[in-house]
Chains A and B, each alone.
Chain A
Amino acid sequence: MFKQKNYIGPGIVVLAAVLILSLPPSAASHLKLAIGSLFLPLLGLANAGRQLPADLADSVLSRHELLKEIDSLRLENQELKVRQLQTGAIEQENEELRMGQESLFKQPWKLKVADVVMRDPANWWRSIEIDLGSRDGITPNLAVMTTEGLAGRVSSVGLHRSQVVLIGDPNCRISALVEDPAHDVGILSAGGPFDSSLANLTYLAGGANLKSGQQVVTSGIGGIFPKGIPIGQIVDSREVEFGLYTEARVKLNANPGALEEVYVLMP
């Protein structure tokens, strides 16, 4: 039962694991992405499988439904045209203000759309993989958003794919600002493992007067995230460490558990 050959293989495996674990972070990250790319053929199959029900549904839509949809789109188009006229005037006014106070206004965000292709299989992390990589100009630490608000940041970049750590993951800490009269600033850190739509806002000033529903946005401190990206709303708050600082729970605008498509904020 205790043959020597039964221990040689496991010994080599343990040694290999220790060697891999002690690789420098950049080498480990590259190796990780290289191993992940072995699954690329399967990824194409999975995408095709996901697309199939939608394609089938499209092919069986009745003429009546299509005409109805065209009518609603026509109405929406007219409405948008009217709104465009209104926004044209606002844009002009905005441009004039920008010209006057150029240092106060930043350039509009450059966004790149990415599909979420995979999620972290481990239950103790919150990360996803997107289908943009270094060939698309992605670099580490770029902000990742949804139409609702901030979702996370790019943690590592491969040629075709990138890993994104989401808000609520222990590796994603963000300096956040509460839109209250005092403009309290805190650190948005990991929430609980169960409800991915909640995160903790810690290190707020002691006695901060926080109310449920107050908006939380990025503070711009730290240099990774631009100022003013919506994050979520305050749910509740409590004083910790004998009132030394305040901690609040934040309901995130972008639900990290249900992301399908994200936007990478390009520099």
Chain B
Amino acid sequence: MKLFKSILVLAAAFLAVFGEAVFSGPRHWLGAQIDLLPALMIYAALDTNIAAVCLLAVFGGLGFDSFSANPLGLTILPLLAVGLPIFLKRDLILRELPFAQLVLGGIASAAAPLLAVLLLLSAGKPPLLGWGSLWQWMVMTAGGAVATPFVFAFFGWCDHALGYKPVTETSFRPDREILRDRKKI
């Protein structure tokens, strides 16, 4: 079951990265492209295992950087930095609540680009920054926050539609059945 979820998350990351590179609707309408990888990372951290979190950071990050002018491998670290603490503390998080998902998605979507820009600045490759970047950051945060509950709902639906259900044992035991008919002794 976990393997199915992990594969599904990686496939979604593959499509999300491709979609971000090909469809630039949000960039035209809102002035910034929305990144779905942090939202996926929140789902992976809360609902899958550490292997899926690591694989998502690696493949999502490499895919994103392959289309971007970022140095290759740069996005891996912010994604991991966002996913790992949530994975470690996931027992304390009310992951079922859409509000919690929204807040976590917002925090992750705000933190990941900030960390990426910090890494770029510390690597001596200053990106395109200005007052407009604040608006872009807000759009990315809000977009990621709104997308996260949908990501959970989508994977929930996939899990329900495509995943198998473990057979549950009933409490019925024939040897303890109370027979209530009138038998002749």
Contacts and interface: CB of A to CB of B under 8 A. Distances in A.
Interface stretch (B59-67, B100-108, B160-168): B59-67
A42 interface: yes
B80 A13 contact: yes
B81 to A, nearest CB: 9
A46 B31 CA distance: 22
B18 A23 contact: no
Interface of B: 14-15, 17-18, 20-22, 24, 27-28, 31-33, 35, 50-51, 53-54, 57-58, 61-74, 76-77, 80, 84, 87-89, 91, 113, 116-117, 120, 123, 125-133, 135-136, 140
Given A20-B73, A39-B21, A125-B69, 13 more contacts: A9-B54, A13-B54, A13-B57, A13-B58, A16-B73, A23-B72, A39-B17, A39-B66, A43-B22, A122-B33, A122-B64, A124-B129, A169-B128
Interface stretch (A71-79, A191-199, A211-219): A191-199
Interface stretch (A30-38, A61-69, A84-92, A228-236): A30-38
A190 B129 CA distance: 9
B130 A193 contact: yes
14 contacts: A1-B91, A12-B54, A13-B80, A17-B74, A32-B72, A35-B66, A36-B67, A43-B18, A122-B69, A124-B117, A124-B120, A168-B128, A194-B132, A257-B27
A192 to B, nearest CB: 4
A171 interface: yes
A122 B117 CA distance: 10
A2 B76 CA distance: 22
Contacts of A18: 73
Contacts of A32: 65-66, 72
A106 interface: no
Given A163-B69, A170-B128, A193-B132, A122 B116 contact: yes
Contacts of B67: 36, 39, 118, 120-121, 129
Contacts of B21: 39, 118-121, 129
Nearest to A29: B72
B interface SS class? helix
A43 B22 CA distance: 8
9 closest cross-chain pairs (CB), A and B: A194-B132, A20-B73, A124-B127, A121-B20, A125-B69, A35-B66, A17-B76, A36-B66, A118-B21
A28 interface: yes
A212 to B, nearest CB: 22
B51 A17 contact: no
A170 B88 contact: no
Contact of A124 (B77, B80, B128): B128
Contact of B62 (A35, A121, A127): A35
Contact of B68 (A2, A6, A38, A121): A121
B72 A126 contact: no
A99 to B, nearest CB: 45
Tell which of A6, A120, A163, A168 has the most Cβ of chain B within 10 Å: A120
A9 B28 CA distance: 38
Contacts of A165: 69
Contacts of A222: none
A123 interface: yes
Given A39-B18, A126-B128, A17 B69 contact: no
A21 B74 contact: yes
A119 B27 contact: yes
Contact of A42 (B18, B69, B131): B18
A125 B127 contact: yes
A43 B53 CA distance: 27
A141 to B, nearest CB: 15
Contacts of A122: 33, 64, 68-70, 116, 127
Contacts of B74: 17, 21
B77 A17 contact: yes
Contacts of A193: 128-130, 132-133, 136
